[in-house]
Structure 1
Amino acid sequence: MGNRHLNTTLRGALVLSIAAFIAKLLSAVYRVPFQNMVGNTGFYVYQQVYPIYGIGMTFALSGLPVFISKLIASVPDLSRQQQVARQVYRWVWLLAGGVFLGLMFGAPWIAAGMGDRQLTPLIRMVDWMFLLMPELSVNRGLHQGQFNMLPTARSQVVEQLVRVTVILVAAAWATRHGWSDYRMGVWALSGGTVAAVAACLVLPRWRNSEPAANQPIHHIGRRLLIEGGTLCLLTAMMVLFQLVDSFTVKNGLVAGGASELAAKSLKGIYDRAQPLVQLGLVVAVAFATSLLPALTEAQRQQRPLAFKRLTATMMRIALIIATAATAGLISLMPWVDRLLFGNTQGAVMLAVYMLSIILATLIQTYNSVLQSQDGYRLTVVALLAGLAVKIGGNHWMVERFGGIGASWLTVGGLLITLIIIWYGSAVELRTGVWTPSFVVKLSACTGIMVLGVRLLVWACEMIWPRLTSGRLLDGVGLLALIPIGALIFLTLALRWRLLTIREWLTLPLAKRLLRFWQRLGQIGGK
Structure 2
Amino acid sequence: MKLLKGAVILGTAAVLSKLLGTLQKIPLQNVAGDTAFGLYSAVYPLYILILFAATAGFPVAVSKFVAERVVLGDDRGARRIVYVSAIILMGTGIVLFLFLYCGAGHIAGWIGISQTKKAIQSVSFALLLSPVLAVLRGYFQGYQNMVPTAVSQVMEQLIRVITMVALLLYLVALAYDEAWIAAGATFGSVTGAGAGLLVMFVYWRKDLSKRQVSGEAKNKEALNYWQWAKRITVYAIPVCLGAIVVPLLTLVDTFTMPRLLEISFGSEAEAMRQFGLYNRGLPLVQLVVMIASSMSAVLVPAIAEAKVKRRGGLVRSQAEMAVRLAWLIGLGASFGLAFAAMPINVMLYKSSEASWTMALLAFTALFSTLNAVTASVLQGAGAIRTPANALLVAIVLKALGNVWLMPRWGIDGAALSAVIAYAAAAGLNLVQLVRCTGARFALRPYAVSPALGVAGMGVCLAALQLLAKPAMAAWHVPERLGYSAIALLCVAGGAAVYVLALLRSGSISREELRLMPELDRKLAPVLAKVLPPAEQRAGTVSDKH
Q: Is the 8 A contact 1:96 1:130 kept in 2?
A: yes
Give the CA deviation at 1:197. 1.8
Question: Residue 55 of structure 1 corresponds to which residue in structure 2?
Answer: 49
Task: Give me the whole-angstrom Cα distance separating, in 2, the residues matched to 1:511 and 1:17.
Answer: 20
Match of residue 213, structure 1, among 209, 220, 238: 220
Question: Residue 226 of structure 1 corresponds to which residue in structure 2?
Answer: 238
Matches within 5 A, 1:49-128: 49-55=43-49, 65=59, 77=71, 79=73, 83=78, 86=82, 96-128=93-125
1:399 aligns with 2:407: yes
Give the CA deviation at 1:105. 3.7
Give the CA deviation at 1:310. 4.3
Give the CA deviation at 1:171. 0.7
Matched residue of 2:391: which SS?
helix
Task: Give me the whole-angstrom Cα distance separating, in 2, the residues matched to 1:185 and 1:297.
Answer: 47
Question: Residue 32 of structure 2 corresponds to which residue in structure 1?
Answer: 38
Question: Residue 175 of structure 1 corresponds to which residue in structure 2?
Answer: 172
Give the CA deviation at 1:444. 3.0
Give the CA deviation at 1:66. 6.3
Q: Is the 8 A contact 1:15 1:153 kept in 2?
A: yes
Please, which moves more after superposition, 351-360 or 205-214?
205-214
Count matched residues: 515
Q: Is the 8 A contact 1:14 1:287 kept in 2?
A: no
Question: Residue 435 of structure 1 corresponds to which residue in structure 2?
Answer: 442
Kindly provide the CA deviation profile for residues 65-98 of structure 1, in whole angstroms up to 9, marking residues without a partner as x: 5676678789982747974964766665565455
Match of residue 198, structure 2, among 201, 214, 220: 201
Q: Is the 8 A contact 1:226 1:376 kept in 2?
A: no
Give the CA deviation at 1:430. 6.0
Kindly provide the CA deviation profile for residues 99-158 of structure 1, in whole angstroms up to 9, marking residues without a partner as x: 434323432221101112332232122122233333333444455566655444333222
Q: Is the 8 A contact 2:130 2:197 kept in 1?
A: no
Question: Residue 344 of structure 2 corresponds to which residue in structure 1?
Answer: 336
CA root-mean-square deviation: 3.6
Task: Give me the whole-angstrom Cα distance separating, in 1, the residues matched to 2:302 and 2:189.
Answer: 31
Kindly provide the CA deviation profile for residues 402-436 of structure 1, in whole angstroms up to 9, marking residues without a partner as x: 1111111112222222233333445144623x433
In structure 2, relative to structure 1, the CA distance for the partners of 1:352 and 1:136 (3 Å cut) is same
Instruction: Write the letter of the residue equivalent to 2:262.
Output: V
1:131 aligns with 2:140: no
Question: Residue 352 of structure 1 corresponds to which residue in structure 2?
Answer: 360
Give structure 1 stretches of 5+ with no counterpart: none
Q: Is the 8 A contact 1:60 1:137 kept in 2?
A: no
Task: Give me the whole-angstrom Cα distance separating, in 2, the residues matched to 1:79 and 1:299.
Answer: 32
Give the CA deviation at 1:276. 1.6
Kindly provide the CA deviation profile for residues 180-227 of structure 1, in whole angstroms up to 9, marking residues without a partner as x: 222222222111011112122334437699962336689653442224
Q: Is the 8 A contact 2:320 2:439 kept in 1?
A: no
1:477 aligns with 2:486: yes
Matched residue of 2:45: which SS?
helix
Matched residue of 1:344: which SS?
coil
In structure 2, relative to structure 1, the CA distance for the partners of 1:393 and 1:481 (3 Å cut) is closer
Instruction: Write the letter of the residue equivalent to 2:435.
Output: V
Give the CA deviation at 1:278. 1.6
1:517 aligns with 2:511: no
Matched residue of 1:272: which SS?
helix
Task: Give me the whole-angstrom Cα distance separating, in 2, the residues matched to 1:329 and 1:400.
Answer: 25
**Structure with higher RCO (Cα < 8 A, 6+ apart):** 1
Give the CA deviation at 1:24. 3.0
Task: Give me the whole-angstrom Cα distance separating, in 2, the residues matched to 1:514 and 1:122.
Answer: 50
1:488 aligns with 2:497: yes
Question: Residue 319 of structure 1 corresponds to which residue in structure 2?
Answer: 327
Instruction: Write the letter of the residue equivalent to 2:106.
Output: W
Task: Give me the whole-angstrom Cα distance separating, in 2, the residues matched to 1:279 and 1:177.
Answer: 33
Please, which moves more after superposition, 28-37 or 55-64?
55-64
Q: Is the 8 A contact 1:17 1:286 kept in 2?
A: yes
Give the CA deviation at 1:482. 1.6
Question: Residue 293 of structure 2 corresponds to which residue in structure 1?
Answer: 285
Task: Give me the whole-angstrom Cα distance separating, in 2, the residues matched to 1:443 and 1:149.
Answer: 42
Decide which structure has the larger Cα Rg and report it: 2
Give structure 2 stretches of 5+ with no counterpart: 540-545
Give the CA deviation at 1:362. 1.7
Q: Identity over aligned residues, as a percent?
A: 25
Q: Is the 8 A contact 1:56 1:129 kept in 2?
A: no
